[in-house]
Chains A and B, each alone.
Chain A
């Protein structure tokens, strides 16, 4: 069965710090990978997705993610976070299996 692991439960950063949120999945076949963001009080929004092709995927708001097949990973990155990035981030495999989420708090 597919599973998704997000390594960090809660990450606290200062503005301008770099961000990397880990996501590992267990599934041997072809997968479609997604990162969603949920801002406080709002519903989930798609940040980026990977189906095939270039393993470095760029999404909205300066986020990117790299698919490393050999490591079964799809980590989310952002070079310089802003206070407005404070949210919960979910990694998903094929949109039916979500990770537990990582809460990001960015201190001004």
Chain B
């Protein structure tokens, strides 16, 4: 199993540009989530999904969209990038979510918005 994969590893954007961060898992996990990691703030939940077709907002959803058309994929879209969105983004998955099962994290995407 590849586990949780994320692309790209690094990305530089200009303010106002849009992009999609890709996340895929091959463990047939129902629960997937996106976090951003900023210095001194730990990980903050952006959006999550409890299954295909179901998504919900986390702690810091503004400026981000998600969709879950398949169990495997959970892309994160930045609609109009802002410097405040410079961060490291982690995707994670687990079999049931909501703190019941262990989450598996992807390697992260480092995003710089100029």
Q: Which of B33, B98, B99 has the most CB of A within 10 A?
A: B99
User: Known interface pairs A42-B107, A43-B106, A44-B105. Does A100 touch B40 (Cβ–Cβ under 8 Å)?
Assistant: yes
Please determine whether B99 and A96 come into contact, CB atoms closer than 8 angstroms: yes
Residue of A nearest to B91 (CB): A43
Asked whether B90 is an interface residue with its Cβ less than 8 Å from the other chain, the reply is yes
Q: Which residues of B contact A31 (CB under 8 A)?
A: 99
In the complex, chain A residues 58-108 whose Cβ is within 8 Å of any chain B Cβ: 90, 92-101
Q: B43-63 toward A: CB 8 Å interface, digit per residue (1/0)?
A: 111001000000000110000
Please determine whether B43 and A98 come into contact, CB atoms closer than 8 angstroms: yes
Q: B85-99 toward A: CB 8 Å interface, digit per residue (1/0)?
A: 000001010100111
How many B residues are at the interface, by size bracket?
Answer: 20 to 34
B interface: dominant SS: loop
B5 to chain A, nearest CB (A): 11
Please determine whether B41 and A100 come into contact, CB atoms closer than 8 angstroms: yes
Bound CA span A36–B35, Å:
14
Please determine whether B42 and A98 come into contact, CB atoms closer than 8 angstroms: yes
Please determine whether B106 and A9 come into contact, CB atoms closer than 8 angstroms: no
User: Known interface pairs A43-B90, A100-B42. Does A94 touch B105 (Cβ–Cβ under 8 Å)?
Assistant: no
Q: Which residues of B contact A14 (CB under 8 A)?
A: none
Please determine whether B98 and A94 come into contact, CB atoms closer than 8 angstroms: yes
Please determine whether B42 and A96 come into contact, CB atoms closer than 8 angstroms: no
Please determine whether A49 and B42 come into contact, CB atoms closer than 8 angstroms: no
A-B pairs with lowest CB-CB distance, top 9: A94-B99, A98-B42, A98-B43, A32-B99, A44-B105, A100-B42, A43-B105, A95-B99, A43-B107
Q: What are 14 sample pairs from A and B whose C-beta atoms fall under 8 A apart?
A: A4-B42, A31-B99, A34-B102, A36-B105, A43-B90, A43-B107, A90-B43, A93-B99, A94-B98, A96-B59, A97-B45, A98-B42, A98-B44, A101-B42
